[in-house]
Amino acid sequence: MSSGIMKRRPLKAADDKVHDFLTTGIGRVKALIRGSVKGFAKEHRPRSKNGRTAKAIFAEAQSPTDEDGNEIMIQVKKLSKIYGRRPEEALALLREGKDKGEVQSMTSNNVGLYDVSFDIRKGEMFVLMGLSGSGKSTLERCMNRLIEPTSGQVFIDGLDFTSLNDEDLRIARREKMSMVFQNFGLLPHRNVKDNVAYGLEIQGIPESERLERAVASIELVGLAGYGDRMPSDLSGGMKQRVGLARALATDPDILFMDEAFSALDPLIRGDMQDELIRIQSELGKTVIFVTHDLDEALKLGDRIALMKDGRIVQIGTAEEILQNPADEYVDRFVKEVDRSKILTANLFMRKPKNILYETQGPRTALRMMDNCDRDDMLVIDGEKRLIGMARSDGILRAMNAGDRDISGIVSDVPSVRPDTPMSEVVQIMVTTDFPIPVADDDGILLGMISPSAAAETLRNGGGE
Ligand SMILES: Nc1ncnc2c1ncn2[C@@H]1O[C@H](COP(=O)(O)OP(=O)(O)OP(=O)(O)O)[C@@H](O)[C@H]1O
Ligand SMILES: [Mg+2]
């Protein structure tokens, strides 16, 4: 503990947006926590007055899929947010083709967002990028209704989130989503463990269970052993790890992160980005990550939406945006990037699909190959470390020899690091027709690069 006397600031005074996020309007719960947490915890389950749970709220919703069969987690449809007194008037002008500046001078309404539509897939890391004032935070907060949109709809897991009543909204929000902010938003008078357990406490989870979950979450972000420290004892990077642990402790499907790493110095920021990538690939959360930093966007985003004046000017993968900037605004962003530095393996890799574990039996392995119509697949160990590649003829041999698993027939495969320049990847690619695996320094498989992605680079000048 940093000081002898612990200031007891009432919860209400904690300058903490997260607190608002978790508790908006649930005075009853706040009172219960201040009074008798134990009494409330007897209910055991997150419940509202009328006994609703998020599960019940989402029960009838059908989560949609896109044309490739991917499940869609969030659909944003024609979403607009006008700040000011006369939003209808502003919308009418926008429909006539007036821009944000014109609307501002004609009506003194501020256009936060106008006519934004897109989908986010389940398990996707989706980045919102753009200059200051372009509408990133407004969009993110309209998605979780921390800000009420002026018009349009947001569907979460197939459910019209914009039509939920206040009670259902609160329940759905606190069980389904979490948020991580730039300023950490830790409660200063609580230790790390209790900060991380806070969201669970709000949900009325019994103490023993929430502490257990908090400890697991603290471990997940690499802070094992720090549970009893106070926030003031921690560096910025560690505080943000606590913020992340708290967001993950409730096991939300969706994580909203607004400039979460922007206050950290560059080295620590890089570490946190790596950590987020690792955690996301382990847990498969859907992440909406706001940043104004192109490098960060390119590193993290499965897809990136570039915003300008409350609109989305381009959505695409890092490579699509780098190679085909939709307009001058995007082009300006892209030009700031040193291309030779940026055209590295991590930008071109896709999440590894169709992977075998070395402990898998030959029969299962063959069936999996058959299902995805391949003759070869990458093999990893229980820690997700890349072991090599298995070919169907090898697996057949293992099966006939009565082997229990496929570990005996795995052959070496060339792999690259996330920061390997594409020019080198392309050279390796020529020697093999197999997707090139990308692994980190510990050998953990992060992704793979398909021959077509490499060919694309070649066509565009080879990433030199
Ligand atoms: N509460 C508010 N009242 C009036 N206008 C607002 C409000 N919040 C945001 N705006 C305006 O809406 C527009 C979008 O702001 P927003 O904060 O969403 O941008 P941002 O991309 O997150 O910017 P930054 O990178 O600075 O955080 C800006 O013009 C901003 O001035
Ligand atoms: Mg913002």
DSSP β-bridge partners for residue 113:
81
Nearest CA to ligand 1 atom 29: 133
The residue that leads in pLDDT, 459 or 263, is 263
pLDDT value, residue 50: 59
Side-chain half-sphere CA neighbours of 258 within 13 A? 20
Distance between alpha carbon 381 and the CA centroid of its chain, in Å? 25
- Give the pLDDT band of residue 61 (cuts 50, 70, 90): confident
Residues 6+ apart with CB under 8 A from 264: 236, 237, 240, 272
pLDDT value, residue 24: 39
Give all strands of the β-sheet with 72-83 in edge-to-edge order.
110-121, 72-83, 151-156, 159-160
DSSP β-bridge partners for residue 222:
none
- Give the pLDDT band of residue 111 (cuts 50, 70, 90): very high
308 in contact with ligand 1, CB cutoff 6 A: no
DSSP string across 137-173: HHHHHHHTTSS--SEEEEEETTEEGGG--HHHHHHHH
133 in contact with ligand 1, CB cutoff 6 A: yes
pLDDT value, residue 458: 55
Range from 8-12, 94-98, 380-384 that averages highest in pLDDT = 94-98
105 in contact with ligand 1, CB cutoff 6 A: no
- Lowest pLDDT segment from 57-61, 80-84, 289-293, 314-318: 57-61
pLDDT value, residue 362: 93
Give dist(CA 40, CA 49) in Å, integer: 12
Question: Beta strand 177-181 with 254-258: parallel, antiparallel or unpaired?
Answer: parallel
| CATH of 72-337 given 3.90.1150.10, 3.40.50.2300, 3.40.50.300, 3.90.78.10 | 3.40.50.300
Residue type, 405: D
Instruction: Find the DSSP H helices in 24-99.
Output: 27-34, 37-41, 54-58, 87-95
**Pick from 145, 143, 170, 147: which is nearest to 22 by CA?**
170
Find the helix or strand (DSSP H, E) in which 370 lies.
helix 362-371
What phi and psi, each to the nearest 5 degrees, are found at residue 90? Answer: -65, -45
110 in contact with ligand 1, CB cutoff 6 A: yes
3-state class of 23 per DSSP? Answer: helix
Rounded to an integer, the average pLDDT of 384-399 is 93
| CATH of 356-459 given 3.40.190.10, 3.10.580.10, 1.10.240.10, 3.30.460.10 | 3.10.580.10
Give dist(CA 386, CA 445) in Å, integer: 5
Closest ligand 1 atom number to CA of residue 110 = 5
DSSP β-bridge partners for residue 385:
444
User: Do the Cβ atoms of 322 and 418 come closer than 8 Å?
Assistant: no
User: Do the Cβ atoms of 412 and 440 come closer than 8 Å?
Assistant: no
The residue that leads in pLDDT, 7 or 176, is 176
Distance (angstroms) between ligand 2 centre and the Cα of 70 equals 29
Give dist(CA 258, CA 263) in Å, integer: 11
Rounded to an integer, the average pLDDT of 409-435 is 82
- Give the pLDDT band of residue 437 (cuts 50, 70, 90): very high
Mind listing the pLDDT tens digit for each residue in 123-169? 999 999 998 999 999 999 999 999 999 999 999 999 999 999 999 99
- Lowest pLDDT segment from 115-119, 362-366, 446-450: 446-450
137 in contact with ligand 1, CB cutoff 6 A: yes
Identify the nearest ligand to the CA of 116 by its number. 1
Distance (angstroms) between ligand 2 centre and the Cα of 258 equals 7
pLDDT value, residue 258: 94
CATH 3.40.50.300-classified regions of the chain? 72-337
Evaluate if residue 58 carries a pLDDT over 60.
yes
83 in contact with ligand 1, CB cutoff 6 A: yes
3-state class of 153 per DSSP? Answer: strand
Closest ligand 1 atom number to CA of residue 310 = 14
Q: Percentage of the chain surpassing pLDDT 90?
A: 54
**Pick from 413, 26, 261, 383: which is nearest to 12 by CA?**
26
Find the helix or strand (DSSP H, E) in which 18 lies.
helix 17-23
Distance (angstroms) between ligand 2 centre and the Cα of 1 equals 33
Evaluate if residue 241 carries a pLDDT over 90.
yes
Six-digit token string for 58: 């989402």
Tokens 């690619």 belong to which residue?
Answer: 429
Distance (angstroms) between ligand 1 centre and the Cα of 387 equals 48
CATH 3.10.580.10-classified regions of the chain? 356-459
163: which DSSP letter?
A: G
Evaluate if residue 294 carries a pLDDT over 80.
yes
Residue type, 426: V
Distance (angstroms) between ligand 2 centre and the Cα of 365 equals 47
Q: How many CB atoms lie within 10 A of CB 160?
A: 13
DSSP string across 205-252: --HHHHHHHHHHHHHHTT-TT-TT--GGGS-HHHHHHHHHHHHHHT--
Evaluate if residue 212 carries a pLDDT over 90.
yes
